Amino acid sequence: MKIAIVGAGLMGRWHMYTARRLGADVVGIVDVNETSARALAARAHGVEVFSSIDALFSACSPDVVHVCTPLQTHKTLCEQILDRGAHIVCEKPLAGSAADVRKLYEVARKNGKKICPVHQFAFQNGVRKARKYLGKIGKPVRIDFLVCSAGADGQSEAEKNAVVADVLPHPFSVMTALWPDTSIANLDWQMQHPMAGEVGAQCLFDGVPLSMTFSMSAKPTRCRMEIRGDRGTLLLDFFHGYCLHYPGKVSRYRKMIYPFSDAIHQLFIAGINMVSRLYYREPAYPGLKNLLGDFYHCIEDGTEEPVPEGLSISQSQAREAFLDEMKTHQ
């Protein structure tokens, strides 16, 4: 698999690292900042650098191009890449609106190419485990997301809200991974947005109370989801990529020892997860390797993308509706 990286920043570096771990051959780095492009190229032993998509495709023919640039550049870059005959891996959000996402899939179909939005949370081992354990916790009675991020520290009010908008694809992609047959596109949000970067939202998801809390100020940082059922609870830690299953058995004894049993449980699962990630050389962004591996295989096999078009559009619609509601409370 021959790949190129567009955007030589942090995510470009991790995309290149992960792609090479999967056996891909990096044939080019594209960035308007030549210094950044050459610094990233040096990590791949002198891969050629380019200042534009035109220059890249004039010199080589990558099978897949990874778009790791700011959101406002995604649509134009992706259209250019698809028209030149390459598949796309694009950092989330895929585009700024659901209409633009639909347009990109139309261009992809016209050119016989595939698109992979980078929703790596949904491909973490913890989410895959949660999918298997959903039946063990009985009927879901509450779903809660909590995201406390340092990504907007020192930023303006507009930039703090922009980080919330950038994070939104993650919870929606996890929802569609766990409940693919339940639509998330038309949720009726009740929202609190008291200040920039601070958002609390609630709705009913298939009759189950769902809450999402985003804070660009609260510390320490957290990124997790709890699914509470009438026979147990699942806790997913997205920063580290693992899932904890809490059986629903109740007794005075269990209540008394809970702080100790919970600490041991978390230490055990987190420890196994860390050893596994070290063994497989996945120091950051758990789930990215699984997602890229699945996408490369779907290209080789001619099978459906790991994030199908319908789910990708549904996620973009859910994000758009959430942001529209945010604006009314700004």
* Each residue's pLDDT tens digit, 85-141: 999 999 999 999 999 999 999 999 999 999 999 999 999 999 999 999 999 999 999
Query: What pLDDT does 329 receive?
Result: 81
Question: Which residue, chain included where needed, has tokens 């809200």?
Answer: 161
d(CA 156, CA 125): 35
Query: What pLDDT does 115 receive?
Result: 98
Mean pLDDT of all residues in 170-180: 95
Q: What are phi and psi of 277, to 5 degrees?
A: -65, -35
Q: Mean pLDDT lowest for which of 52-56, 282-286, 295-299?
A: 282-286
Amino acid (1-letter code) at residue 164: V
Burial category of 176 from C-beta neighbours within 10 Å (exposed 0-12, middle 13-18, buried 19 and up) = buried
Q: What is the band of 161 on the pLDDT scale with cuts at 50, 70, 90?
A: very high
Burial category of 222 from C-beta neighbours within 10 Å (exposed 0-12, middle 13-18, buried 19 and up) = middle
Closest by Cα among 141, 101, 107, 136 to 119: 101
Closest by Cα among 104, 107, 114 to 63: 114
Mean pLDDT of all residues in 257-276: 92
Query: What pLDDT does 223 receive?
Result: 97
Q: Report which of residues 212 and 45 the model is more confident about.
A: 212
Query: What pLDDT does 330 receive?
Result: 72
Report pLDDT digits (tens) over 184-210.
988 999 999 999 999 999 999 999 999
Report pLDDT digits (tens) over 5-43.
999 999 999 999 999 999 999 999 999 999 999 999 998
Query: What pLDDT does 91 receive?
Result: 97
Amino acid (1-letter code) at residue 325: E
Give the Å distances, CA to CA, from 263 to 29, 257, 270. Answer: 45, 10, 10
Report pLDDT digits (tens) over 40-75.
999 888 799 999 999 999 999 999 999 999 999 999
Mean pLDDT of all residues in 217-227: 96
Q: Is 286 in contact with 124 (CB distance < 8 Å)?
A: yes
d(CA 34, CA 11): 17
Ranges of each domain in the chain: 2-118, 122-286+319-328
pLDDT of 308 strictly over 90: yes
Q: What are phi and psi of 152, to 5 degrees?
A: -115, 15
Q: Is 92 in contact with 285 (CB distance < 8 Å)?
A: no
d(CA 22, CA 35): 26
Q: Any bridge partners for residue 145, and if so which? A: 212, 225
pLDDT of 299 strictly over 80: yes
Query: What pLDDT does 55 receive?
Result: 96
Closest by Cα among 266, 235, 275 to 126: 235
User: Which spans in the chain are helix H?
Assistant: 10-21, 34-42, 53-59, 74-83, 98-111, 125-133, 157-167, 169-178, 252-279, 288-301, 309-328
Torsion of CA 242, 243, 244, 248, to 10 degrees: 180
Query: What pLDDT does 254 receive?
Result: 87
Which residues neighbour 63 within 8 Å (Cβ) at sequence distance 6 or greater?
1, 2, 3, 86, 87, 299
d(CA 99, CA 101): 5
The CB-based long-range contact list for 23-26 (8 Å cut-off, 24+ gap) reads: 24/64, 24/296, 25/1
Do 122-286+319-328 and 2-118 have the same topology in CATH? no
pLDDT of 151 strictly over 80: yes
Instruction: List the CATH code of the domain at 2-118.
Output: 3.40.50.720
Report pLDDT digits (tens) over 225-240.
999 999 999 999 999 9
d(CA 160, CA 152): 5
Domain 122-286+319-328 CATH superfamily: Dihydrodipicolinate Reductase; domain 2 (3.30.360.10)
Query: What pLDDT does 294 receive?
Result: 97
Q: Report which of residues 295 and 283 the model is more confident about.
A: 295
